[in-house]
Structures are given as C-alpha cells and as structure tokens.
Amino acid sequence: MEYSVEDISAVKKKVVINTEPQEVDAAIMGAVALYKTEVRLDGFRKGKVPPSLIEKRFHDKIYAEARENLINVHINDVLQKMQTTPLAGITVDAEQALERGVGYSYSVEFEVLPDIALPAYEGMEVEQEKAVVSETDVQRLLDRYRYERATIVPVEGDEPAKDGQIANIAFSAYEGDRPLENIKADNFDLVLGERQALKEFEDLVKTIPNGGEGEGQITFPQDFLAEDLAGKTVTMKVKVYAVKERKLPEVDDAFAKKLGKDTVEELRTAFSVSISKSRYELNKSAAQKTLLDRLLKMVAFELPPSMVDNAVHTLLYDMSARLQRQGRSLTGLGKSPEELRTEVLPQAEDMARAQVLLLAIAKKEGLDVTETEVSTQLYRMCLESGEDFKTVRENYERTGMIFVLRDRLLADKAMDLVYAKAKVTEVEPAPQAEEGTKEENVGQAAQEAQQAEANAEGDADKE
C-alpha cells in the first residue's frame, strides 16, 4: 500500500491510497474464509463448502465486506503513520469496483486541527476575586431550604391571591363562543409570582376573589410553544376554589437536624462553606476566561468547519431547551433555520476558536481523556436530565457526538493546566450595585438563591 497526502486547506487533508493486487486478493480471501465457517449449503457440511462456490454465491456481500475491511485497515495505518486524528467523520471516495488481481485506488478526506504557533502560557498573571460570603448570602440559602420544606395552609377570607401564594383554580379558554378543549384544567395549583404561567393569566387570577369567578382576554405570544395558539387572543374563564400559602418552618436545632446538622450554628457554617466553594469555582472560571481571551488575541488560525457546525448545533439546542421551559419554541421566533444559524454563528466561532487553541495545548502537554472520564460525564448528564445512560451512550456513539464530548473534556483539562501554571492574585470582589427598595417575598428570594447557589446546595446535602 502506498499513499500520498494533499493539504486541501490548513484544516482539511486528502489522502490518495493505492493498493497492490496481492493485497486486494488477500482481503477477498479473508472475507471468503469468514463466510466459509458460517455458511450452510445443500450437499455440503458446515465449513466444507468450496471457497470458489462461496465467492460465486455471495459475491456482492463478500466483495463489499472485503472492500470495507481493506479501507478500514488502510485508514488506521495511514492515520498512525501521519500521527494525526480526524476531527469529524472521514469521507471516502471509492468508486472503483474491487477485482481479483487488480490494484485498488481510492481517496479519503478529513478535517484536522490547524497547526498553531502556541504563545507562552506558563506564568501568565491574572486576578481572581476572593470568595467572600456574607450573612445575607447564608440567610438567602437558608430561606431556600425553608421555602422548599414549608407546609401548605389555606388562607382565610375572600381576598384574591397574591405573589408567593398558591391559587387552586379551574380554567377554560374560549375563542368567541367556541371552547378550546386543549386549554382547560380543574383543581390546578398555580404558584403566583414564579412565572409558571403567562403574566397576563397570573394578573387575571390575582383579580379574582377567593371562592369567586372571573374572566379576561389573554393573548398568547407569537413564539408560544403550541403553534396553533401562537399570537391568538382568547377569553379565559377562571374559578378560584381556594387560596393557600406556605408556612415556613422555624429555624431551630430540629430544623438543622433534618438537614444533617446538630445545631443552627453548624448548619449556617456548612452553608457558608458550600457557598464559598461555589463562589470560588465561579471566580476561578472568570479568571480562566480572562486567561483564555488573552491567549486567543495572540494567535490567528483557520477554523475547522465541523467544529463550528458542532458549536452552532449546541447553541441552538440550548436555545430550544430554554424556550421550551418557558412554553415557547424555536419555530415560534419566526426565523428560518438559516437566520438562526447566522444569529449564533459569531458565538459558535468563538467557542470553536477557544476549543482549537485548548486542544493544541492539550496535544503539546500530552493530555488525554479516559473512557472512564467520558462515561462519568455522560452519567452526570443523565442524572440531571433523567435520561437512560445506556440510551444516551448509544446515541452519542451513533451520531459521533462522543468525540465532541471527549474533545470538550480534553479542552477543559488544558484550561485547568493553563490556570495551574498561571500566577493568580486574589483581589477583593468588586462592589455590588445597591438593590432597590422593592419588597421581595420569600419565594422570590428563594428562587434567586437557587440560581446563584445551586452548587452550594449540592455540597450542603452531601455533608
């Protein structure tokens, strides 16, 4: 086997492979031998069918397998000799039919990382904010736990429900006099002020007395998830059966014990440590981004199209997931797939540029990612999403996303290495802007704590 390499671009290579006739014959004979051990034909015992008869009877399948095996062996051999790893799938151009006694020629194309003259990244100086935790931070996280463990009790009187309270309702929608069967519910608990429903609908519920009925016009957004309702105005009829609210537990040693601590003081200390760890990781990420941005300004290189495409796919997938959580959809944005791609392309290119640089550093440093690390990351993702690990693993392998995940983990390792080699100076955190004097209920405070200290919660639970 002989091969020649052509650089189509800085990130794409073409390899032309020429195979000697004797190697072609050997590949065909190998495929025939495999068939011989399994094939049963009338008049012959298993394994005793003449090779010539097997080759004639199963010609197309045997030659297809021989061709595939031959190409796979060659590609692995060539890539090893070139000491390179394709970024995405390998495109094979092999129109010639396989024949005994005839040499076989074909070509393959694939993308590679560009060669980069890496800037010096050892000893870079960067400032990182200290992980400062205030009593207010601890109280906010404590409020979150109290909120989640509150007892639901009825509210007396006929006052309408307000933010932070729960309205038990029945509702139905009408377009003119025609009821919309897919928009109705009975004994539905709606927590107000947490954006569980359209703002117009919550505003309507907050006008109806406890035990009373009311109706109002609701206009669905143009990007509403249910496309048949997007942009429509309907009449919503609502009945409020009851108004309920959360009775928060007292913060005492009994409450602390339920969270694994003996005293309130121990619980507050654990929360403080958890928040500090979470904040440190956030500040570390900010410092790493500063280092990365500085390095990217020192280099210029061509981007592999497949990496940009993967980044575009990731961004659009994340955008779609965010919209679905809000009851909206990508199609409801009124933009074509090409317009959406154009919109996220600059960010996708930035993501790809950062990954190329970090993978180049990983290669220089001899970093690697093990199968155990890949599986662990997939397992964590499945825990968060509730999906089946085996199904997700198979899907990642079938679509080639397993290589994308591996590269991402490798890039993370490279970023950690650059940070470990940097000269990090801790500085006082920047002063926070003063909040307004608007009144916030416990539910709103708890939501903010959940977003800001999600990692801290996990740490506290483990202790």
Domain spans of the chain, in order of start:
2-111, 125-135+253-462, 151-247
Give the per-residue pLDDT at 77: 92
Task: For domain 125-135+253-462, give its CATH number from 1.10.3120, 1.20.1280, 1.10.760, 1.10.10.
Answer: 1.10.3120
Q: In what order do the strands lie in the sheet with 104-111?
A: 2-9, 12-19, 104-111, 91-93
Provide CATH code, domain 2-111. Answer: 3.30.70.1050
Identify whether the C-beta of residue 240 lies closer than 8 Å to the C-beta of residue 205.
Answer: yes
Provide CATH code, domain 151-247. Answer: 3.10.50.40
Buried/exposed 331-342: b ≥16 CB within 10 Å, e otherwise: bbeeeeeeebbe
Tell me: pLDDT of 462 over 50: no
**What average pLDDT does the segment 457-463 reach?**
45
Query: Residue 43 — very low, low, confident or very high, per pLDDT cuts 50/70/90?
Result: low
Query: Residue 249 — very low, low, confident or very high, per pLDDT cuts 50/70/90?
Result: very high
Please state the pTM of the whole predicted model: 0.71
DSSP letter at 436 equals -
Quote the CA–CA distance of 48 and 46 in Å, as a whole number.
6
Query: Residue 443 — very low, low, confident or very high, per pLDDT cuts 50/70/90?
Result: low
Give the per-residue pLDDT at 437: 37
Structure tokens, 191: 């927590």
Give the per-residue pLDDT at 433: 53
Collapsing DSSP to helix, strand or coil, 57 comes out as helix
Give the per-residue pLDDT at 463: 43
Identify whether the C-beta of residue 414 lies closer than 8 Å to the C-beta of residue 163.
Answer: no
Collapsing DSSP to helix, strand or coil, 19 comes out as strand
Nearest partner of 115 among 302, 295, 294, judged by Cα? 302
pLDDT in tens, 361-419: 999 999 999 999 999 999 999 998 888 999 999 888 877 778 888 989 999 999 999 99
Structure tokens, 187: 């004994």
Give the per-residue pLDDT at 223: 76
Alpha-carbon dihedral angle through residues 209, 211, 216, 221, given to the nearest 10 degrees: 100
Nearest partner of 231 among 297, 307, 175, 300, judged by Cα? 175
**What average pLDDT does the segment 182-199 reach?**
91
How would you classify the pairing of strands 91-93 and 2-9?
unpaired
pLDDT in tens, 103-162: 999 999 999 999 999 999 999 999 999 999 999 999 999 999 999 999 999 999 999 999
Which segment of 71-80, 164-173, 327-336, 367-376 scores lowest on mean pLDDT? 327-336
Average pLDDT in the chain: 88
Give the per-residue pLDDT at 33: 86
